[in-house]
Amino acid sequence: MSFGGTCVAVQGPSAPTKPARNHPWILFVPVAVPTCTPYSVTQWATGTSKDGWAWNGSFWTQAGQRVPIVYSTPIQDNGWDWSVSCGNPGVIRFTGVASKPRSPSPCPPGVKPASCRPGLDPTGFLASVEKELPPETLTVSPPPPGVVGVPVTVSITPSPAVQYATINTTAPDLGDGDPGELLHVVWVVQAAPEATAWSWPDGTSGIQLPWIPQVAEAQGAIRAVVTYLVTASGFWSDGVSVHPLASVEVGTLTVQASLPYPVQQVQADLG
């Protein structure tokens, strides 16, 4: 009925630094030598980080030919097809624009998606979600000093609840062989409270409430230890789709609170 989380904008990968795996990478216009075999070649364009970039009508001139200016995008390699003939001088002819899709992924080839955990940092995740856990205080009824045999109810404030931390990180693009290209990865770290463990002034402990003191204790304390189970679930974006990452258990965190609570033996005090 309500949403208490934080919306995270989807970001695509950074500009490609080279064509995808198995795409030839040529940084110069083809050259025709006097003695040669005619050939065709594709020259791939450098990248732009704008996901929706398209040719805007600009041209450059090569050997008297108007050649459109194109750039590769994070999800598609773009370039130019050239036909080179022999002779002195030979002829270099622009024949069209070439395009091949990229397949960015932070998962190395051969790694199953369930085993792919880019940007996973258990220690850092624990530290980040620990900052979201509030300090706890204890209140008791009856208030101290207590009396032997009288049930004592204890409450912890604020009541332990699920807390979250959002971790934004980057991972190299390993899917198309361009580790210089970075992919946006988001982890949502969840700290879920488990049973609260209590220790009482008389040395007993447990998870049951209320506590009924049986002996007098002049300098005792009630202590509570809340254990949080921390898990992380994530996703990454290739600029078009959002891909989930398998959940993983990160570890546990504990939060402690204590309250001085002397216990009196009323009958003995009365003589």
Contact 106, 171 (CB under 8 A): yes
Would you state the pLDDT for residue 61? 83
Task: Report the share of the chain in percent with pLDDT over 70.
Answer: 90
Q: Which one has a higher pLDDT value, 125 or 55? A: 125
pLDDT tier for residue 63 given thresholds of 50, 70 and 90: confident
SS (H, E, C) the chain: CCCCCCCCCCCCCCCCCCCCCCCCCCCCCCCCCCCCCCEEEEEECCECCCCCCCCCCCEEEECCEEEECCCEECCEEEEEEEEECCCCCCCEEEEEEEEEECCCCCCCCCCCHHHCCCCCCHHHHHHHHHCCCCCCEEEEECCCCEECCCCEEEEEECCCCCEEEEEEEEEEECCCCEEEEEEEEEEEEEEEEEEEEEECCCCCEECCCCECCCCCECCCEEEEEEEEEEEEEEEEECCCCEEEEEEEEEEEEEEEEEEECCEECHHHHHC
User: Does the pLDDT at position 2 exceed 70?
Assistant: no
CA distance 48 to 78: 11
Residue pair 104/74 in contact by the 8 Å Cβ criterion: yes
Give me the pLDDT at residue 4, please.
64
This prediction has a pTM of 0.79
Residues 69-102: b if buried by 16+ CB within 10 A, e if exposed: ebbbbbbbbbbbebebeeeeebebebeeebebeb
CA-to-CA distance for 121 and 232, rounded, in angstroms?
10
- Whether the per-residue pLDDT at 58 is higher than 60: the answer is yes
pLDDT tens profile 85-135: 877 767 889 999 999 998 899 998 888 888 899 999 999 999 999 999 999
Count other C-beta atoms under 10 Å from residue 166's C-beta. Answer: 16
Please state whether beta strands 146-147 and 263-264 pair in parallel, antiparallel, or not at all (unpaired): parallel
Q: Taking a C-beta distance cutoff of 8 angstroms, is the pair 242, 235 a contact?
A: yes
| Range in 47-51, 121-125, 243-247 the model is least confident about | 47-51
| Average pLDDT of the residues in 39-66 | 78
Percent of the chain at pLDDT above 90? 50
Give the pLDDT confidence score for residue 40 in this predicted structure.
87
Rounded Cα distance, 131 and 226, in Å: 15
pLDDT score at 6: 67
Confidence of residue 233 (pLDDT cuts 50, 70, 90): very high
- Structural tokens at position 231: 């898990």
The pLDDT of residue 20 is above 90: no
Average pLDDT for the chain: 87
pLDDT at position 230 over 80: yes
The per-residue pLDDT for range 172-223, each reduced to its tens digit, is 999 888 889 999 999 999 999 998 999 999 999 988 889 999 999 988 999 9
Query: For residues 148 and 269, what is the distance between their CA atoms, to the nearest angstrom?
Result: 12
